[in-house]
Amino acid sequence: MSDENAQAEALAADSPEPAQNQPAEAVKLPMNGIRVIDLGTFLAGPYAASILGEFGAEVFKVEHPIAGDPMRRFGTATKRHDATLAWLSEARNKKSVTIDLRQQEGVQLFLKLIAKSDVLIENFRPGTMEEWGLDWQTLSQANPGLVYLRVSGYGQTGPYRHRSGFAHIAHAFGGLSYLAGFPGETPVVPGTAPLGDYLSSIYGAIGILLALRHREKTGEGQIVDIGIYEAVFRQLDEIAASYGLFGKVREREGSGSFVAVPHGHFRTQDDKWIAIACTTDKMFERLAEAMERPELASSGLYGDQRKRLAARDEVNRLVIEWVGSLSRDEVMTRCLDCEVPVGKVNSIADIFADEHFQARGNLAKITEEGLGEVVVPGVIPTLSETPGRITHLGPVMGNATYEVMRELLGISADDIKRLRQRKII
248-273 pLDDT, tens per residue?
999 999 998 888 999 999 999 999 99
Q: Are 300 and 193 found together in one domain?
A: no
Q: Which residues of 43-56 are buried (b: 16+ CB within 10 A; e: fewer)?
A: bbbbbbbbbbbbbb
Give the span between the Cα atoms of 421 and 222, in whole angstroms.
36
Let me know if residue 370 belongs to a domain. no
- Write the CA distances from 48 to 51, 86, 375, 380, integer angstroms: 5, 15, 20, 13
pLDDT 10s digits, 296-349: 999 999 999 999 999 999 999 999 999 999 999 999 999 999 999 999 999 999
pLDDT at 21: 43
Q: Let me know: does 67 contact 56? Beta carbons within 8 Å.
A: no
Catalytic residue among 38, 69, 100, 197: 197
Angle between helices 195-218 and 46-54 (to 10 degrees): 60
Q: Are 205 and 317 found together in one domain?
A: no
Band the pLDDT of 288: cuts 50, 70, 90: very high
pLDDT at 4: 36
Band the pLDDT of 27: cuts 50, 70, 90: low
pLDDT 10s digits, 143-192: 999 999 999 999 999 999 999 999 999 999 999 999 999 999 999 999 99
Determine what percent of the chain is predicted with pLDDT higher than 90: 92
pLDDT at 258: 87
**pTM for this entry:** 0.91
pLDDT at 11: 31
Between 40-44, 88-92, 188-192, 359-363, the lowest mean confidence (pLDDT) is in 188-192
Q: Let me know: does 363 contact 378? Beta carbons within 8 Å.
A: yes
Boundary-marking domain end, from 344, 364, 386: 344
Q: Are 220 and 71 found together in one domain?
A: yes
Give the span between the Cα atoms of 87 and 50, in whole angstroms.
11
The whole-number average pLDDT for the span 286-298 is: 97
Q: Are 153 and 285 found together in one domain?
A: no
Let me know if residue 285 belongs to a domain. yes
Let me know if residue 100 belongs to a domain. yes
User: What is the 8-class DSSP label of residue 406?
Assistant: I
Q: Are 139 and 280 found together in one domain?
A: no
Let me know if residue 250 belongs to a domain. no
Let me know if residue 351 belongs to a domain. no
Q: Are 168 and 45 found together in one domain?
A: yes
Let me know if residue 61 belongs to a domain. yes
Mean pLDDT, the chain, as a whole number?
93
Let me know if residue 381 belongs to a domain. no
- Which CATH number fits the domain that encloses residue 416? 3.40.50.10540
The whole-number average pLDDT for the span 411-417 is: 97
Band the pLDDT of 14: cuts 50, 70, 90: very low
Among 357, 409, 316, 382, which residue's Cα sits nearest to residue 99?
409
pLDDT at 124: 97
Let me know if residue 371 belongs to a domain. no
Q: Let me know: does 117 contact 143? Beta carbons within 8 Å.
A: yes
Q: Let me know: does 273 contact 264? Beta carbons within 8 Å.
A: no
- Which CATH number fits the domain that encloses residue 324? 3.30.1540.10
Boundary-marking domain end, from 303, 328, 344: 344
Q: Are 51 and 126 found together in one domain?
A: yes
Give me the number of domains the chain comprises.
Answer: 2
Catalytic residue at 197?
yes
pLDDT at 6: 39
Question: Which residue range(s) make up the domain with 287?
Answer: 263-267+273-344
User: What is the 8-class DSSP label of residue 219?
Assistant: -
Residue 69: CB partners within 8 Å, gap ≥ 6?
41, 42, 46, 61, 63, 87, 91
Give the span between the Cα atoms of 20 and 29, in whole angstroms.
12
Q: Does 52 score more than 90 pLDDT?
A: yes
Determine what percent of the chain is predicted with pLDDT higher than 70: 94
The whole-number average pLDDT for the span 234-258 is: 95
Q: Are 133 and 77 found together in one domain?
A: yes
- Report angle CA 191, 200, 95 to the nearest 5 degrees: 105
Determine how β-strand 273-277 pairs with β-strand 263-267.
Answer: antiparallel
Boundary-marking domain end, from 325, 344, 363: 344
Q: Which residues pair with 97 in a beta bridge?
A: 62
Sheet of 222-227, strand order: 94-98, 58-63, 35-38, 119-122, 147-152, 222-227
